[in-house]
């Protein structure tokens, strides 16, 4: 690798130990996503510009465009990364639990832990605060439905769950329940996560039982 060149602007942000202009593409992408996500969450989707993202990251606008094409592009990239992270948290937690009730509880706990860890981020990426429309909204919805499909295929492994549409309907119902419970929770301070998880499991458990017992 070429030796690090001394930049005339030594105060420029450094990313992962690399100086500006020597940052590998993948590292730069991740940095831009971090910056964009933070700006979306703090100043809102509408008020965030490519220019502000570039300035905050210490790069020029063309660098942002070359990585993501557009503001919609960088938003969807944030969404894909955050959803992959949410799914990893949920499905890892479920994989470590034994039996459907414990799995649902572990998955719900992971979900609400994610919401709790960064409410502003959740709101702008998942809670509708970005107010995107058209193809961006459609891709966001497809990503959302993808999580429920993964959840449904996990449930479908249960030997008793035979009706694929039934499993999908259940997955969407409990997914929507989690989503709106999160919306309300974020507006209702002072309720510990454990209580939310308990209430959530209470709502969903009968549906699980009906699904696997038939």
User: What's the token pair of residue 104?
Assistant: 């649902």
Interface residue with its own copies, options 115, 132, 154, 155 (CB under 8 A): 132
Looking at the Cβ atoms of 28 and 170, the one nearer to its own copies is 170
C-alpha torsion sign, points 100, 80, 172, 41: positive
Looking at the Cβ atoms of 20 and 123, the one nearer to its own copies is 123
Residue 99 makes contact with its own copies by CB under 8 A? no
State the Cα–Cα distance between residues 175 and 63, nearest whole angstrom: 37
Site for its own copies in 172-191 (CB under 8 A): 172-181, 183-185, 187-188, 191
Residue 149, CA distances (Å) to 22, 49, 140, 170 in order: 40, 33, 14, 11
Interface residue with its own copies, options 4, 84, 95, 210 (CB under 8 A): 210
Contacts of 178 (CB under 8 A, 6+ apart): 108, 111, 112, 200
Interface residue with its own copies, options 40, 68, 126, 200 (CB under 8 A): 200
Interface with its own copies (CB under 8 A), residue total: 47
What is the 8-class DSSP label of residue 21? T
State the Cα–Cα distance between residues 145 and 120, nearest whole angstrom: 22
Contacts of 109 (CB under 8 A, 6+ apart): 93, 193, 197
Residue 196 makes contact with its own copies by CB under 8 A? yes
Looking at the Cβ atoms of 65 and 199, the one nearer to its own copies is 199
Query: Among 7-15, 38-46, 57-65, 83-91, which window interacts with its own copies (CB under 8 A)?
Result: 38-46
Looking at the Cβ atoms of 45 and 91, the one nearer to its own copies is 45
Looking at the Cβ atoms of 57 and 100, the one nearer to its own copies is 100
State the Cα–Cα distance between residues 144 and 122, nearest whole angstrom: 13
Site for its own copies in 151-170 (CB under 8 A): 165-166, 168-170
State the Cα–Cα distance between residues 55 and 53, nearest whole angstrom: 6
Q: Which residues contribute to the site for its own copies (CB under 8 A)?
A: 44-46, 128-134, 137, 141, 145, 148, 165-166, 168-170, 172-181, 183-185, 187-188, 191, 196, 199-200, 202-207, 209-211
């Amino acid at each position: 690798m070429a030796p690090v060149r001394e930049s005339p602007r030594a105060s420029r942000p450094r990313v992962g130990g690399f100086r500006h202009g020597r940052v590998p593409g993948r590292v730069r992408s991740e940095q831009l996503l971090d910056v964009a996500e933070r700006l979306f969450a703090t100043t809102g989707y509408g008020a965030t510009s490519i220019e502000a993202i570039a300035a905050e990251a210490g790069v020029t606008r063309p660098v942002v465009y070359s990585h993501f094409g557009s503001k919609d592009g960088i938003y969807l990239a944030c969404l894909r990364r955050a959803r992959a992270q949410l799914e990893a948290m949920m499905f890892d937690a479920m994989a470590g639990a034994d039996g459907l009730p414990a799995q649902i509880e572990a998955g719900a706990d992971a979900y609400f832990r994610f919401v709790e860890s960064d409410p502003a981020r959740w709101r702008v990426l998942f809670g509708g605060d970005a107010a995107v429309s058209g193809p961006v909204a459609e891709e966001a919805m497809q990503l959302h439905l993808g999580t429920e499909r993964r959840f449904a295929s996990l449930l479908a492994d249960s030997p008793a769950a035979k009706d694929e549409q039934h499993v999908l309907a259940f997955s969407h119902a409990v997914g929507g329940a989690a989503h709106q419970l999160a919306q309300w929770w974020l507006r209702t301070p002072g309720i510990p996560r454990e209580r939310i998880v308990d209430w959530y499991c209470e709502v969903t458990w009968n549906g699980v039982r009906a699904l696997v017992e038939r």
